[in-house]
Amino acid sequence: MTQRDSTVVSLDKARQTPPPPPPERLGEERRRALDRFLATVERQAFQRARMAVGNVEDALEVVQEAMLKLSRRYSDKPEEEWPLLFQRVLQNCITDFHRRRNVRSRVLSWIRLGPDEPQEAEEEMQVADPSGRSPLENLLSGIATEKLLGALEQLPVKQQQAFLLRHWDGYSTTEAAYALSCSEGSVKTHLSRALKSLRHTL
């Protein structure tokens, strides 16, 4: 085989196996994927944040912070991990917001606004049976959405977020525990208390 023949063979091989895309193109594809992902979750994230912080401006800030953090730190993670990572980042941003607000209000007025969440021995608590006197399936039937939103806003943040993660996003208890950075037992306790409060309010 002449040198020319070998060159032709190697060229044929090269034609059969396309070269990997350059890094900048990979980065662009990743960027587009992240754009698509954030576009699908941003509205729901905003609503969750609004319920947790109580107003539009702070909610926008919290969601922006969560998107920035995901983009900066976790954009290289597999795409299938993004949804739960984003929920966790968002939850941390909400918690940070409440911490900052508590500190600010304490410093400014020396008045404690009321605990964000009472300290509790969560694991020791019994989880109430949700199929009690007021069946779950009847809880939200025939009520106005505004009333539900109002009731959700009244809940302590952890209970509210546990409820939304579980019954709006449809995450399992394990996944909700990851997003809330707590144990599964705590998620069950938060949920049970949230349902109790919602039954009472609605």
Query: Look-up: residue for tokens 């983009």?
Result: 71
Asked if residue 201 lies in contact with residue 170, where contact means CB atoms within 8 angstroms, the answer is no
What span, in angstroms and rounded, lies between the C-alpha atoms of 170 and 77? 22
Binding of another protein at residue 60 (CB under 8 A)? yes
Minimum distance from residue 182 beta carbon to another protein (Å): 19
Residues 143-172 that bind another protein (CB under 8 A): 145, 148-149, 163-164, 166-168, 170
CB-CB neighbours of 136 under 10 Å: 13
**Could you tell me the two tokens for 82?**
């993004």
What span, in angstroms and rounded, lies between the C-alpha atoms of 129 and 196? 10
Binding of another protein at residue 52 (CB under 8 A)? no
Minimum distance from residue 12 beta carbon to another protein (Å): 37
Site residues, another protein (CB under 8 A): 27, 30-31, 34-35, 38-39, 42-44, 46-47, 56, 60, 63-64, 67-68, 70-73, 75-76, 129-131, 135-137, 139-141, 145, 148-149, 163-164, 166-168, 170
